[in-house]
């Protein structure tokens, strides 16, 4: 079996899977790969951005096992003009609900963008409300719990409007459009993710 590696910019309102799901778009609607290729990890239906696809089981283990703690960067549009106090809370870790129990998130990196980042428009777009400001932040995590970023920003009083995973380790979606896929080789993938 030859190992293959791809990255895709998963569009908004698309499931992170190839199998059919009635009434919902899947990766199969945008790209065609061999049947043994699958997403490593996932992005929620209503989130966008980087997904790594491969048939490399060792890579799957390294990326999904929490003990390796690799960084994932999310660009997040939040409702309201987020303040430093909220960013400090995100950096220290906040309590979120996970499977009906309280979970304390690990410390994160969080910073506010001075201007909205250069991203393709979302389809459909975020509903614009003149009376309610919004802002963009970068959040870098070493864990990936279910809907974690959304729960974290909600905890600080700034609900998430748009969520884009920009990077995993040194791999990012810079210059890519939603639905676009790029093939990579093993050396590049492992070098960018693990520095070797």
Kindly report the number of other CB atoms within 10 A of residue 28's CB atom: 15
Beta strands in the chain (DSSP E): 5-10, 14-15, 25-26, 38-40, 48-54, 72-79, 95-98, 101-104, 109-112, 134-141, 160-168, 171-172, 181-184
Q: Helix (H, G, I), strand (E, B), or coil: what is residue 164?
A: strand
The one catalytic residue among 29, 34, 36, 44:
44
Q: Dihedral sign, CA of 113, 116, 120, 125?
A: positive
In the annotation, is 46 catalytic?
no
Give the catalytic positions in this structure.
Answer: 44
């Amino acid at each position: 079996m030859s190992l293959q590696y791809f990255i895709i910019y998963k569009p908004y309102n698309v499931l992170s899977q190839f199998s059919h799901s009635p009434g919902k778009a899947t990766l199969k609607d945008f790209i065609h790969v061999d049947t043994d290729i699958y997403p490593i990890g996932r992005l929620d239906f209503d989130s966008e951005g980087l997904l790594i696809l491969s048939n490399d089981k060792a890579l799957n283990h390294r990326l999904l096992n929490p003990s390796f703690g690799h960084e994932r960067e999310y660009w997040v549009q939040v409702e309201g003009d987020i303040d430093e106090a909220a960013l400090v809370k995100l950096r220290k870790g906040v309590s979120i609900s996970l499977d009906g129990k309280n979970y304390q998130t690990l410390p994160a990196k969080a910073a506010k963008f001075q201007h909205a980042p250069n991203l393709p428009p979302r389809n459909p777009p975020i509903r614009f409300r003149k009376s309610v400001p919004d802002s963009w932040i970068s959040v870098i995590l070493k864990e990936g719990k279910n809907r974690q970023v959304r729960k974290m920003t909600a905890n600080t009083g700034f609900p998430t409007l748009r969520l884009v995973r920009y990077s995993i380790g040194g791999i990012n979606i810079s210059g890519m459009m939603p639905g676009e896929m790029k093939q990579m080789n093993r050396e590049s993938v492992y070098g960018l993710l693990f520095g070797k």
